[in-house]
Structure 1
Amino acid sequence: MRTARSHLAPAGIAAVLALTVSATAPAAAEAATTVRPVAAPGAAAAPSVQASHASARDRAYLRQAHRGNLAEIAAGKAALRRSHDKDVREIAWGLIRDHRKLDARLREVAQRLRVDLPDAPAAEQRDDLDAVLARRSGHRFDRAWLRLQADAHEQTLTLIRRELRHGHSGSVRNLARDGAPVVRHHLDEVRAELTRHAR
């Protein structure tokens, strides 16, 4: 009896393995082609086929948003050097703090997706800030600086909306989605301060 079992065991194991492989093959193939849904804002994004690929639009968004963050940080530092208005300086601190945080996340995503980022704001952004800095300090500087920030944040919101509508990568779209309320908050603060300076 022991001899019969020993002869049957390899055949039985082979049959079980064959059934296991045939049963799991479709599931494995399906798992390989399934795109998982994008994680909710603030949640850890699960790895997915969609999140692992950046389209040309996604790459352009990462580079433009990065330049925008660098420009806002530079503008905030300029306001701290030139402005004596308490509220303007408070907005400037907020820009520096929040855009550093946004950019830290952006750089992580760019590195994961192998997207090279520029190391400075765009020439136009630098020229715009230089034009504001050319004005004297005081109210003239504050108004010019606030107008520049209003324009910059409106452009950033347009960039975000475009990425959310047409972007491919879940990771990049999550960045845009999470950044939108921060940028809107900055824009609201800047507009309110511009109204105060117009009185």
Structure 2
Amino acid sequence: MKIAMKLLIVGSAAVIWSCNGQQSKDPTTRADSTNEEMIDSSHAAGAAPAIAEKDAKFAVDAANGGMAEVQLGEMAQSRGADSSVKAFGKMMVTDHSKANDELKMIAAGKNITLPAAPDNEKQKVATDLSSKSGADFDKAYIKQMVDDHEKTVKLFEDAQKDVQDSDLKAFAVKTLPVLRTHLEHVKALKKTK
């Protein structure tokens, strides 16, 4: 019991110390740290954690990407020049908002903390895209969507194999075909631009 208490104190001190660092400003890093702390506390108390660390990490990464897709999709609708880019942006907002809401419900039931906003890297992408308009925006947005969806498809394919939690696994299985459709659609758009 004394060892568990010492581990809890040391772990809490490490979390507090790390939260004072520069990375603590990143919403994804904060969510990951909160989830790790919850899992570590369960281990220290001698209990099995409610969720595996890699499952929580998947949820955080999926939420991060999903929020960014909504943000950039809204931007595409207002800044895009081509009607097909605007329509793709609208599809991103609709589909990713739906998936984000589903993921939030699953995470709440598992006590997983999700980021409140996209991470610093995705915010930088949004800032860069917001400086563009018209055809320049369309080209940069399409390129970003191809890159993002290739990474997201890989994230969800890995989750199908590796995630242990049945609800998160079902979410990955259900969402992956939609993500693949997005990737195919945006690659077709890229060929026309």
Q: How far apart in 2 are the matches of 1:194 and 1:130? A: 22
* Match status 1:77 vs 2:35: no
Q: In structure 2, give the amino acid aligned to 1:194.
A: K
What RMSD, in angstroms, separates the aligned Cα atoms of the two structures?
A: 1.2
Q: How far apart in 1 are the matches of 2:180 and 2:97? A: 16
Q: Secondary structure at the residue paired with 1:108?
A: helix
**Deviation by residue 1:33-69 (Cα, 9 ceiling, x = unmatched):** xxxxxxxxxxxxxxxxxxx942111100111101111
Q: How far apart in 2 are the matches of 1:140 and 1:67? A: 25
Shift of 1:132: 2.0
Q: Which has the larger radius of gyration?
A: 1
Q: Secondary structure at the residue paired with 2:116?
A: coil
Alignment length (residue pairs):
145
Q: How far apart in 1 are the matches of 2:151 and 2:82? A: 25
Indicate which of 177, 185, 188 corresponds to 1:192: 188
Question: Unaligned stretches of 5+ in structure 1?
Answer: 1-51
Q: How far apart in 2 are the matches of 1:188 and 1:54? A: 33
Farther-moved stretch of structure 1 (81-90 vs 126-135): 126-135
Q: 1:79·1:145 contact (CA, 8 Å) conserved in 2?
A: yes
Larger RCO: Structure 1 or Structure 2 (Cα < 8 Å, ≥ 6 residues apart)?
1
Q: How far apart in 2 are the matches of 1:129 and 1:72? A: 10
Q: In structure 2, give the amino acid aligned to 1:183.
A: L
**Deviation by residue 1:136-156 (Cα, 9 ceiling, x = unmatched):** x12111010000011111111
Q: How far apart in 2 are the matches of 1:161 and 1:183? A: 10
Equivalent positions of 1:122-141 (< 5 A) are: 122-135=119-132, 137-141=133-137
Cross-structure match for 1:173: 169
Q: In structure 1, give the amino acid aligned to 2:134.
A: G
Q: 1:102·1:179 contact (CA, 8 Å) conserved in 2?
A: yes
Cross-structure match for 1:19: none
Q: 2:78·2:86 contact (CA, 8 Å) conserved in 1?
A: no
Indicate which of 55, 59, 62 corresponds to 2:56: 59
TM-score normalized with structure 2 length = 0.73
* Match status 1:153 vs 2:149: yes
Q: How far apart in 2 are the matches of 1:110 and 1:141? A: 34
Q: Could you say which structure has the higher helix fraction? A: 2
Q: In structure 2, give the amino acid aligned to 1:149.
A: M
TM-score normalized with structure 1 length = 0.70
Farther-moved stretch of structure 1 (57-66 vs 158-167): 158-167
Runs of at least 4 residues off by over 6 Å: none
Shift of 1:71: 0.2
